[in-house]
Amino acid sequence: MTTTRNLSLFQTLLLVLACQCCAEVAAVFDHVTGTANLIDGIVSTANQQHRPPAAPLPLGIRTPANRRGSVAINGTKAAVYLKGNGNAVFDVKKYGAKANGKSDDAQAFMTTWIAACRNTTGPAKFLIPKGIFLVGPVTFAGPCKSMPITIEIQGTVKATTDISEYSSPDWISIEGITGLILTGSGVFDGQGASAWPYNDCKINNNCQILPNSIKFTRLNHSIVDGLTSINSKGFHTSVFRCYNFTATNMNIMAPGNSPNTDGMHLSTSKLVTISSSTIGTGDDCVSIGHSCEKITVTNVTCGPGHGISIGSLGRYKTEKSVLDVLVQNCTIFNATNGARIKTWANTISGSAVGIVFDNIVMRKVKNPIIIDQTYGTKEKKASKWKISDVHFKNIRGTSTTNVAVLLECSELFPCEGVELRDINLSYGGASLKNTTTVSSCLNAKIKTFGVQNPPACVVQH
């Protein structure tokens, strides 16, 4: 296939929709993003290896009459529209947004979205131009007639601070769309400092969850490129029931003491890639929750925060297993955890299988490598969540505690197939008396290869 080099972002998405994981798409994204390293994030090595069955063009894609050509996909020709960008632009200011930072522009945003989503002339762009927009909770719902549809943010969007306005746990909800692009150099500001004092989840298991800044729900074939999110009230972003979702070049920031401000939380999603991003929050930089499959996290700088986590798992009956997760080429600093898997000591059963943490740099991390199957409880219960086929490879740097490797697995379902390969973690804490690092393991069946600093633990049963 000969790839056209002068493509807009929406044209690139059309190729993704048509080609899925074909290798030619990598060259297109290389051109769009301007960096060769991003290829691994957009069409990740792991996702190419997964290679899901080729799917038909999603509902809503139609072949334009003036198409420029076609490409062969698995022997079948599929039309791809490549002539001009053709975007119909829907500017929120032209639909009544004041952009004065005082008036609530939520209604103008909704009116603009409806017009953009219903556009029938081709791809549409929902534009938030330069300016300061105060916005209460809004929902951008599909399905849309525009294909694809782009949300471009150039200004600053600030969330209203009156919590009573948020009847649902989300500030901006984007849902039910095939072919979404979210991009731009602007900022989503959750103004979370006004709400954080109301978070009592550390002492109250039934606490009220503060609003997520952006929730992506039921999206297929989507790209988030260049998102900047600061000071969310709850999670910065949440990805739920999405398929083939790519997030890259993100900047996500909140103070290290801000509660439950996860950078990106995933659940019930498949084929998700997070790449080339900087995330520093008061909670997990990336949290991969239940019912997720084929997830890739690569080239992410995380800190401060609670690290990159699988879980927590096993709290609710509706949860399903986590399969095939690759976390690779990341740096974690000034964090309470590094590479972490956490499950509740609960009666809910499930499994986490095929987890790889590879080539991770730790800088002043409290628990660089940790499996915690007693998460969320002080009672002596055994988790029914089975963890197996887990690989910690080429993990190096400093630990602020003496226990640099902590594997606390379930008595009922010991961890199996845990690989420790080339681990080199030295002490980087405040103590001048005890500068050794050690490993601690419980109910874990491990195999070791290469460098082991600290020395691999003797497994206790």
Instruction: Output the 3-class SS for the chain.
Output: CCCCCCCCHHHHHHHHHHHCCCCHHHHHHHHHHCCHHHHHHHCCHHHHHHCCCCCCCCCCCCCCCCCCEEEEECCEEEEECCCCCCCEEEEHHHHCCCCEEEEECHHHHHHHHHHHHCCCCCCEEEEECCCEEEECCEEEECCCCCCCEEEEECCEEEECCCHHHCCCCEEEEEEEEECEEEECCCEEECCHHHCHHHCCCCCCCCCCCCCEEEEEEEEEEEEEECCEEECCCCCCEEEECCEEEEEECCEEECCCCCCCCCCEEEECCEEEEEEEEEEECCCCCEEECCCCEEEEEEEEEECCECCEEEEEECCCCCCCCEEEEEEEEEEEEEEEEEEEEEEECCCCEEEEEEEEEEEEEEEEEEEEEEEEEEECCCCCCCCEEEEEEEEEEEEEEEECCCEEEEEECCCCCCEEEEEEEEEEEEECCCCCCCCCCEEEEECEEEEEEEEEECCCCCCEC
Over the Cα atoms of the chain, what is R_g? 23
| Catalytic residue chosen out of the listed positions 221, 236, 290, 306 | 306
What phi, psi does 400 have (nearest 5°)?
-85, -5
Which residues, listed in sequence order, are joined to residue 104 by a DSSP beta bridge? 134
Q: How many CB atoms neighbour CB 27 within 10 A? A: 15
Q: How many CB atoms neighbour CB 188 within 10 A? A: 25
Is 50 a residue of the active site?
no
Place of tokens 């200004």: 155
How far apart (Å, rounded) are the C-alpha atoms in residues 79 and 320?
Answer: 37
Pairing state of beta strands 156-159 and 384-399?
unpaired
Taking alpha carbons only, the member of 389, 325, 401 closest to residue 362 is 401
Taking alpha carbons only, the member of 27, 44, 26, 39 closest to residue 294 is 44
Residues with a catalytic annotation lie at 306
